[in-house]
Chain A
Amino acid sequence: MTTYRLRINGVERAIDSSDPDQPLLYGLRSVGLTATKFGCGLGQCGACSVLVDRRPTRSCLTTIADTQGKSVVTLEGLGSMAAPHPVQAAFIKEQVPQCGYCTSGMIISAVALLAEKPKPTEDDIRASLEGNLCRCGTHVRVIRAVMAASGQGG
């Protein structure tokens, strides 16, 4: 058993694992951070997206060993019901989620986009969220929420 030290949502944490190849996803969920979802384990759907050193990252393909010493932000770390992050607030205002299983990954990807491009066009949003799948068909609300979070439209 090896202990891996990560900074998760601003807090230093130790995660034990017997396998250095264990994906970060399972490490996060094992310490109760379950907002980050298992969707495919193949990096194809975006449900497990987190920020690793501010970069959007598929936690199902990133190993716990590779994340050692890095800073990880999950949906829980962005904001809370009482004090949501602007992107979370916009998703709530636009009533984006239906089942909501993809929502965590969507919000993380949108936060990463806005950090790089504070005033994206609709096409920018479509392009940067192309790797995030939604089955309920909430796409038009996601786009509207990201536009609103960037202070455009809405």
Chain B
Amino acid sequence: MTVPLTQHRLADGPTRRAIVQGGALMVGFALAGVPTRARAATGDAGPRPVDPNEVDSFLAVNGDGTVTVFCGKVDLGQGLRIAMRQIAGEELGIGIDMIKYIEGDTTLTPDQGRTSGSNGIQRGGMQLRRAAATARQALIELAAQRLNAAPDDLVAKDGEVRPNNGGAGIKFAELIGGRNFKIKLNPKAPLKDPATYTLVGKPLPRPDVPAKCTGGFTYMQDFSAPGMVHARVIRPPAIGAKLIGVDEASIKHLSGANVVRLKDFLAVIADDEWTAVRAARALRAQWSEWSGLPAQDKLIATLRADPEVTDEVLVTRGQQGPSAQSGAVSRSASYFWPMQSHGSIGPSCAVADVRSDAATVWTASQGTHGNRKTFARFLGLPEEKVRLIYLDGAGCYGMNGHEDAAADAAIVSRAVGRPVRVQWSRQDEHGWDPKGPPQLLDISGAVDPAGRILAWRTEMWLPQTTRGLPDIPLLGPAAAGLDNVRGLQPGLISQNADPPYTADNVQVLVHWLKDAPLRPAPIRSPGKPANCFAVESFTDELAAAAGLDPIEFRLSGLADPRGIEAIRRAAALMNWQSRPSSGANKSAPVMRGRGFAYVHYKHSESYVAMGMEVAVERGSGRIRVERVACAHDCGQIINPDGVRAQVEGSILQTLSRVLMEEVQFDRSRVTSVDWSSYPILRFPDVPKLDIVLIDRPTQPPLGAGEAACSPVGAALANAVFDATGARLRTVPFTPDRVKVALSAV
């Protein structure tokens, strides 16, 4: 049976009642840890405050002495669940074990923006720190009245306010337990002196790890709602194809399986998951032809020749015009970074319960709050009637298919009037997750024999970002003909396209492309791995042209003391001996070399310096990365083990992207739709990692989830050049590409 959209509500039969009960159960689930006693005390059963300017949006002191932290940023495995507790507990004066935690729920947590851009701690965490500091000040003032003491003589510690010089204190719960603070975040509330920290800076274990290791952790993929049906969405064989016809009889043999069709949106539902899988495989549908993609083997030329570009000069520094100096050497080179998939190990999944007047969507999206507007729009519901609740999915590193799967689930749920779980297949995820955009960079420059950069010009071709776009266009609403946003949102992909080193003149010009070959979305460290690959490779090319050691060349053009220290620390890890590249063993069957790269992330955030040791096999063209050394300065470290895990992950994931990854496509669709056609790094490819974290407790904390991705490509390319004399300027560095480059030396 095809379920038309107009029949989207079941009558109040048993199924509906089950859903209502389920709804109550779900609310109970979602509210675990909410100060219910607090509500009872005040009689306030109304909505929680979610205004990010209000202290109560972030913190509640419960009647039992615990504190609940409400966090709008979500934990994707990067450790916010512990780091946020450390920040709040430290600033408030209460132990970690007394803190409950709720995250990513549009009804319960403040809108702190997408969990992206490595902003979790540096923005979201600092909002929470400010809220906790404001709350502590309020608690101390309340206690001062009760104790008839001066606030300066009191301290908040271990969940109570007590006199500095000893004596009985008053518990937080006694002071305000169950009641709201009703105050705004005070930007002037005094912060604790980092020298007195007892929680921040400690490698406390992440609370979700034990359940993840023993099987009790509930992922998005494991969640079920009462009365839920399983759905699979059938995507067309060509990206722009239209649905001509569906042969519903083709799944008649599968008991309980049904077709849901809305225009070009096609799905099957069944009571059990395996039947839904079989139905999706068996369903016969006829689609129109479509072949609107560019030819992959001509992609670079296609981007470069695109007539519909908007030019923007991003950087102009120093005097313009050519620097004519005797002995100056000029170079120019072109670099390319291909489209890549987020490559989540678990395909996207979501559950939605859409009713005529309200919707609840469980999603692993990094943008729970941001999605609310989008979902309200295509569901035709008021924003406040749409609730999105975050559950961990497989790591998404930007924006994989999570949002699309959630929209799919919402569309099918609205159509069938029951809670619906949509699970994507591996082929769906690889084929249809929005892709990291292609990036093409031409760089030219000149250097004098002393190593001074005389001129630098970067010219880039990048997909544009549509101004004011709240979200990227979603597949389901587009196919179903529902209200959908239009435009591109690849992330902030033009940053770090100019060198961090002194240069007489620098210009960065971007040609914004009106469109992208495949739907783009932010992918970890958006744009910066490619830009830094080009900039730091070209820096190395200039150093080699001047006959100078790559690290000394960098240091001679750098004034920032934190950058200098990061470089020196990484050089020490590498036991770096000064000499120009390339090295001496260029004719050996296995050539060894070392490379270096540096980034000051977004020119304003973390500092990362990275060295690599590689072996290149002449016969096979295979690169073996043997060791990566990294010095990482992200300011104040909240949790050093969490930062270390992020740096390890950034390095290994980006090595995978640089060595292996490129989305393959024909004129109709993505053809790299599994792990054999889109291989990623495996255990035998994993190098030794030596990481030094530079802690700066008195500096603001900066992001640690992305910065170390950026220098990976250049450190590797520079090491290959050092080993072989061959320059790799196109990612990925496949054995075939390496062999071609070697033959040109």
Interface residues of A (CB under 8 A from B): 17-19, 22-23, 26, 29-30, 33-35, 37-42, 44-45, 47, 74-76, 78-81, 84, 88, 91-92, 95-104, 107, 125-127, 129-143
Contact = CB atoms under 8 A, between A and B. Distances in A.
Among A42, A47, A84, which residue has the most Cβ atoms of chain B within 10 A?
A42
A33 B653 CA distance: 30
Given A135-B345, A137-B649, A130 B684 contact: yes
Contacts of B688: 140
B206 interface: yes
Given A47-B345, A133-B345, A140-B686, A95 B206 contact: yes
B744 interface: no
A39 B426 contact: yes
A66 to B, nearest CB: 15
A126 B648 contact: no
Given A22-B274, A26-B273, A135-B397, A101 B683 contact: no
Of B277, B681, B683, most buried by chain A (CB within 10 Å of CB) is B683
B346 interface: yes
B213 A137 contact: no
B425 interface: yes
Nearest to B684: A126
B708 to A, nearest CB: 10
Contacts of A17: 274
Contacts of A100: 77, 208-209, 212-213, 217, 392
B197 to A, nearest CB: 21
Contacts of B684: 126-127, 130
Contacts of B656: 137
Contacts of B255: 18
A136 B213 contact: no
B519 to A, nearest CB: 20
- Give the dominant DSSP class at A's interface: loop
Interface stretch (B97-105, B545-553, B672-680): B672-680
Given A101-B394, A133-B345, A92 B648 contact: no
B30 interface: no
Given A30-B272, A92-B213, A100-B217, A133 B682 contact: yes
Q: Which of B77, B344, B680 has the most CB of A within 10 A?
A: B77
A97 B208 CA distance: 9
Contacts of B211: 81
A80 B214 contact: yes
A37 B210 contact: no
A126 B683 contact: yes
Given A29-B222, A133-B680, A138-B648, 19 more contacts: A19-B275, A26-B277, A30-B272, A34-B221, A37-B221, A40-B347, A78-B214, A88-B214, A92-B205, A95-B205, A95-B209, A96-B209, A101-B393, A107-B213, A133-B345, A136-B649, A137-B650, A141-B645, A143-B683
B216 interface: yes
Given A29-B273, A99-B394, A135-B653, A45 B345 contact: yes
B734 interface: no
Interface string B373-396: 000000000000000000011110
The list of the 8 closest CB pairs from A to B, nearest first, reads A35-B215, A137-B652, A98-B77, A99-B395, A100-B212, A137-B649, A99-B77, A101-B394
Interface of B: 76-79, 205-206, 208-219, 221-222, 255, 272-275, 277-278, 343-347, 392-395, 397, 423, 425-426, 641, 645, 648-653, 656, 674-676, 680-684, 686, 688-689
Given A26-B274, A37-B346, A130-B684, A42 B652 contact: no
Nearest to A25: B274
A130 B682 contact: yes
Contact of A41 (B212, B222, B426): B426
Contacts of B651: 137
22 contacts: A18-B255, A19-B278, A37-B345, A38-B221, A38-B423, A42-B674, A44-B674, A45-B345, A47-B345, A80-B214, A80-B216, A97-B209, A99-B392, A99-B394, A101-B395, A102-B345, A127-B683, A136-B649, A137-B648, A138-B645, A139-B681, A140-B686
A39 B651 CA distance: 23
A99 B423 contact: no
Contacts of B652: 137, 139-140
Contact of A44 (B78, B219, B394, B676): B676
Nearest to A102: B345
B433 to A, nearest CB: 12
A97 B683 contact: no
B214 A84 contact: yes
Nearest to B274: A26
A141 B395 contact: no
Contacts of B683: 125-127, 129-130, 132, 139, 142-143
A135 B660 CA distance: 13
A27 to B, nearest CB: 8
Contacts of A42: 426, 674-675
